[in-house]
Amino acid sequence: MNEINPNPGYKRIATEEAWAPTELMNLFHKELERKSIKDPGFYSLWGFFSGNSQRAQDLSRRLQDLNDERIKDMDSAGIDMQVVALTSPGVQIFEPEMGTSLAIRFNDELADQISKNPDRFVGLAAFSPMDTKGAAKELERGVTKLGMKGGILNSHSLGTYMDDEKYWEVFEAAEALDVPIYLHPNTPSPQMIEPFLKLGLDAAVYGFGCETGLHALRLLVAGLFDRFPKLQIILGHCGESLPFNLSRINYMHGHVSTSNRYENVKPLKRPAMDYLKENFYYTNSGVAWAPPIMFIRDVISPDRMLYAMDYPWQFIHSEVAELDNLPMTGAEKKQFFEGNARKLFKI
Ligand code: MN
């Protein structure tokens, strides 16, 4: 059996935890038959996870449950609280307006489920990013009316990224509401997936990280944080490799942005590194490994590194015990597992 300390001296708040309403799963199933969207990553990911394998069945069942089984799982793994968000790609494969009406229903359902166990769950609001007005409005409703703690952006929407300022209303709303947006992985966009697919690198092995890191950098270099200096974006998986590349991104973007080499690339107000340190939070979702966690605390800030499990995609009890043994003081562990999440999500 796994030895998980029931009283480690801190609450464990897991900050990147997934759910999927049954209606969304049914829509995914329909789309897998209809094949009407142009997103090979969707068919690769959900083609497998809608299947009959034990792993797919367990995942699908756990994704849809926000009650008995999930709480039992949390109890068995020592998780006190989950920050729950709509699983990828959420509503982002549907027509923009349909995406908004789905987001409204799913946010209502999530809020309703949270209200049954308010000491165990908080939620992030889904929105349909390509429906710009609807997205901002639904984020605002989610936060102000439903008590959501931020927004979930499952990266690209059928290959469209959010760096074009015509999509920035939702970021403006997030800044005004003082809530973070979780930039969560999607499979590589249709434009980039081909060389990943053949050898199975499109999903969590590498594709998610490439895709989501790219999206984060596109937002940064497009000047999103010059426009909205207080905006906070959360990256999972130890920052999708960006903290490791902090120095190179900073130095080379400084060069590129002043070289007039690219028509669309203009200098930012500050060095790229500053935004990665002051406009991003990082979680260890899917990475129960001390070196990158300690590295981010070191090069970014101990105030910006948060715990996450990535349930139910990665539900491994022994990882909790491993993370309890991070080379930190008790106070530092409390900050990592609990304190930073309480502050950021106002829990
Ligand atoms: Mn995840």
pLDDT in tens, 13-25: 999 999 999 999 9
CB 269 within 8 A of CB 39: no
- Between CA 20 and CA 242 the distance in angstroms is 28
Question: In angstroms, what is the span from residue 85 Cα to ligand 1's centroid?
Answer: 9
- 122, 110 in Cβ contact below 8 A? no
* Distance from residue 346's CA to the centre of ligand 1 (Å): 21
Kindly state the greatest CA–CA separation across the chain: 60
Q: Tell me, in angstroms, the distance from the centre of ligand 1 to residue 237's CA.
A: 8
Token pair, residue 147, equals 């008590």
- Compute the distance from residue 177 Cα to the ligand 1 centre, in Å: 24
- What separation in Å is there between the alpha carbon of 310 and the centre of ligand 1? 5
State how far the Cα of 42 lies from the Cα of 189, in Å rounded to an integer. Answer: 9
- How far is 86 from 236, CA to CA, in rounded Å? 15
In sequence order, what E strands does the chain have?
A: 13-19, 81-86, 121-123, 125-126, 151-153, 181-183, 233-235, 280-283, 305-306
Q: Which residues pair with 280 in a beta bridge?
A: 233
Cα atoms in the 13 Å half-sphere on the side-chain side of 122: 21
Expressed in angstroms and rounded, the spacing between residue 257 Cα and the centre of ligand 1 is: 32
How confident is the model at residue 2, as a pLDDT?
55
Distance from Cα 285 to the centre of ligand 1, integer Å: 7
Q: Tell me the residue type at 14.
A: A
| Cis ω before 195 (30° cut-off from 0) | no
> CB atoms < 10 A from the CB of 194, how many?
11
Separation CA 28–CA 69 (nearest Å)? 23
Instruction: Identify how many contiguous H helices and E strands the chain contains and give both numbers.
Output: 17, 9
pLDDT score, position 305: 98
Q: Which residues are catalytic?
A: 310
Considering only CA atoms, which of 110, 111, 170, 113 is closest in space to residue 139?
170
CA torsion 336-79-345-125 (nearest 10°) is 140
Q: In order along the chain (347 residues), what is the average pLDDT of each group of 10 residues?
A: 84 98 98 96 96 96 97 98 98 98 98 98 98 98 98 98 98 98 98 96 97 98 98 98 98 95 94 98 98 98 98 96 97 98 98
Sorted by sequence, the CB contacts under 8 Å of residue 29 that are 6+ apart come out as 50
Ligand 1 center from residue 263 Cα (angstroms): 35
Residue 219: both structure tokens together? 């937002």
Q: Look at residues 85, 66, 101, 57 and name the one whose alpha carbon lies nearest to residue 155.
A: 85
Distance of alpha carbon 218 from alpha carbon 230, whole angstroms: 18
Q: Which two tokens stand for residue 306?
A: 């948060």
Cα(63) to centroid of ligand 1, in Å? Answer: 11
Distance 340 CA to ligand 1 centre (A): 19
Tell me how far apart the alpha carbons of residues 88 and 186 are, in angstroms, rounded to a whole number. 6
Q: How far apart are CA 299 and CA 273, in angstroms?
A: 10
Distance 268 CA to ligand 1 centre (A): 30
State in Å: Cα 183 to ligand 1 middle.
10
Is the distance from CB of 295 to CB of 244 less than 8 angstroms?
Answer: yes
How would you classify the pairing of strands 121-123 and 81-86?
parallel
Ion ligand 1: residues, CB < 5 A: 16, 310
- What burial letters (b/e) apply to 208-228, b meaning 16+ CB within 10 Å? bbbbbbbbbbebbbbbbbeeb
If phi > 0 it is left, if psi is from -120 to 50 it is alpha, else beta; for residue 125 that is beta
